[in-house]
Amino acid sequence: MQYNYIREQLLKNQKTWLITGVAGFIGSNLAEALLKLNQRVIGLDNFSTGHKHNLEQIKESITDKQWKNFNFQEGDITNFETCQTITKDVDIVLHQAALGSVPRSIDNPILTNHNNVTGFLNMLTAAKDNGIKRFVYASSSSVYGDSQELPKVEKRIGNLLSPYAVTKYVNELYMGVFQKCYGMEAIGLRYFNVFGKRQDPNGAYAAVMPKWISQILNGEDVFINGDGETSRDFTYIDNVVQANILAGTTTNEKAFGEAFNTAIGGRETLNNLYQAIVKGVKENLPELEIKKPIYRDFRAGDIRHSNANIDKIQKLLGYKPTHTLESGLKESIEWYIQDIKGRKKSE
């Protein structure tokens, strides 16, 4: 497996990685994985959606020696001077900082554009100016818009359905231009509904997976948008970490300037997902009483069905998912149960 080989090589060769949005869900998991491989990690975050307790959990999961390889800076990607400073003496950029959520972008398109387009261009330009070739960034399955084709293939997209989708597609356009004009080894990863430990279940724009798990565990009402037959390619965080590390280290020039579906390659409806979460929670907490879900209107800007073709990322980057929806869901539920217990003890 290519990923195992790359991890062995990283343990022997230390590089400096910059992770933007390092205090967020995906960023903190990336930092933890790289620090465990004895890599140097520089982290940037403004805590608009990330959390300091995520950084504390990283520290608890690694050795003191590994923690010394971590350098955190609080700052904002919309400040170009910050981007210029943070990208000095860096080998690889993993750009995760963004304002996620389709509904948030519909509520506030200007703020979403400011972070996801201006902030992205700041980081890409600063990386270029400081001589960084490898720039890996988070794109999104939202770029497929109203395309009815399943599974989704990278070269064919539809009409975009939200300001968020527009910002991510603009990122991809900039990536291609910077690759052609400046020779940057930029790679985009189109994430498909990522879930796992440290994903924030709170707030108006929380993703469905952590929100439902948290609501069920806390005995709260669970809402399903539409008829529940909307489907998604739910992708466990460890698969996304793998894709980032492979993209950050690949020597395959055919990958540069490309965007890759980052997913499991499966599809599950919201109704089935809800039942799977209930089953998983019951296996851990059989005595817990669980309410029936409440159905409400479809959400504006949502894609009806999403399912990724992952042939391209497998062929060019050597990606091979280690977790299915079932195995990832099992680990996620166990993590949230322990996290809730830990928070109650500290209160």
DSSP letter string over 141-158? GGGGTT---SSB-TT---
Given this model, what pLDDT does residue 299 score?
Answer: 79
Could you give all domains of the chain from N- to C-terminal order, each with its CATH number?
A: 2-346 (3.40.50.720)
Task: Determine the longest span between alpha carbons in the chain, in angstroms.
Answer: 61
According to the model, what pLDDT value does residue 21 have? 97
Residue 151 contacts residue 308 (beta carbons within 8 Å):
yes
pLDDT tens string, the chain, 347 residues long: the values are: 899 999 999 999 999 999 999 999 999 999 999 999 999 999 999 999 999 999 999 999 999 999 999 999 999 999 999 999 999 999 999 999 999 888 899 999 999 999 999 999 999 999 999 999 999 999 999 999 989 899 999 999 999 999 999 999 999 999 999 999 999 999 999 999 999 999 998 866 678 899 999 999 989 999 999 999 999 999 999 999 999 999 999 999 999 999 999 999 999 999 999 999 999 999 999 998 888 999 999 877 777 888 999 999 999 999 999 999 999 999 999 999 998 776 666 65
Tokens in use for 30? 């990336």
Query: What's the confidence (pLDDT) of residue 302?
Result: 77
Contacts of residue 297, Cβ cutoff 8 Å, sequence gap at least 6: 225, 226
Active site residues: 164
pLDDT attached to residue 204: 66
pTM across the whole model: 0.94
- Quick check: 213 and 283 in contact, CB under 8 A? no
DSSP letters for 185-205:
EEEEEEE-SEE-TT----STT
For residue 198, the one-letter residue type is R
